[in-house]
Amino acid sequence: MLSQGRKFTSPLSWSALAGIWLLAACQPPAHKEAGFALGQQRSGKSWEPSRLSWGSRIRHTSGGEGEDAFPHLSPDAHTLYFSTTRFGKRFGLVSKPLHGHTLTSLTSGGSNDIFPALSPDLKSLAFASDRDQGWDLYLLELGGQEKVRRLVRSATDTLGPRWSPDGKSIVCFRRGGQAGPWEIWTIDVASGAQTFLTEGLFPDWSPDGGWIAYQRPRGRGARWYSLWKIRTDGRQATELISGWNGDWGAVRPSWSPDGGWIAFIAVGKGSEAKELGIQKGTLYTISADGAQLVHLTGDRPGISEWDPFFGKDGRIYFSSDEGGSIDIWSIDASLGRSGAK
């Protein structure tokens, strides 16, 4: 679990990372494998199945005893960035060619480095690290020298950086005081100026720069989260989805490159979760207007998915514990949509 102050120094694990959402996370072949996708249309306040389709899932890493998490595909769709424990007890940042196997270690040592996010110009990698007695945001300058600098110093834990489309700002989330709610802030990269936006977690910028998607609890102390979007000036906060009857949560939004869809993780949903009380995660997309919901990976017993990232290549990258190890996978994002092949 994340600390509420500035004393978090212990190694992270898959279950501890799941605690970031305040939720518990409950060897397939390396070739493409059939995946299930169920498209659903919203009618009034209910969701109705619209179509069924099949597509391919691809496993991009095989960490063995290590854990691979927080995938991020470069804007040119050539390089996959992620955090891994395969080289030690703590998470370090690595990169690999999307269609290759060679890993390049970007950070190492006695800290956890997570949430990599590459700038639109491909020159700077933003990430969160606990290297200085608490979670702050850092920038790794790429291109040979690989210098690391702290973006800002915050009094409370700050995580989840995402770049604005113009590369001038970063949106993130942090604790609002020692025991306050999580808050979403924007940071001007050049000046360091910080602006409060709203309460919530895991923000992601729309590709046109006009909206930010995020998750927020349904009420103070509520168990489940809903997905929202808000204008970057703080106007028009709009709830996108909150789950049937309030018995499951929607977390970790990631916007599609064309702005039409948002990937997210549904938690506590499905027959296994309902029967056994397992808060597993499973991958969905929802149209940006909230009109269409798509279940991409199906309700597969014992398997959780987390950390979705919508790539420029039309695939969604995510972490999964399928097969007993935590690896990076991807799936065709168009599955289940109206008109999809």
Domains of the chain (ranges, CATH numbers): 14-332 (2.120.10.30)
pLDDT at 272: 53
The answer to whether the CB of 291 falls within 8 A of the CB of 44 is: no
pLDDT at 138: 97
Q: Sheet containing 169-175: which strands, arranged edge to edge?
A: 158-163, 169-175, 182-188, 194-199
> b/e map of 165-184 (b: 16 or more CB within 10 Å)?
eeebbbbbbbbeeeeeebbb
pLDDT at 324: 84
Taking CB atoms within 8 Å and a gap of at least 24, the contacts of 221-225 are: 223/249, 224/248, 224/249, 224/267, 224/268, 225/21, 225/201, 225/249, 225/250, 225/251, 225/267
Type of residue found at 96:
K
pTM for the structure as a whole: 0.84
Q: How far is CA 251 from CA 20, 107, 324, in A?
A: 11, 28, 23
> Half-sphere exposure of residue 140, counting CA atoms within 13 Å on the CB side?
25
- Helices then strands, counting H and E runs in the chain, come out as 2, 25
pLDDT at 310: 98
The answer to whether the CB of 204 falls within 8 A of the CB of 232 is: no
Question: What residues pair up with 186 in beta bridges, in sequence order?
Answer: 171, 195
pLDDT at 244: 55
Give 145's contacts (C-beta < 8 A, 6+ positions apart). Answer: none
> b/e map of 131-150 (b: 16 or more CB within 10 Å)?
beebbbbbbbebeeeeeeee
Per-block average pLDDT, block size 10, for the chain (341 residues)? 33 47 29 32 33 62 85 97 92 95 87 97 96 93 86 92 98 87 96 95 97 87 82 94 73 96 86 56 91 83 89 96 90 72 35
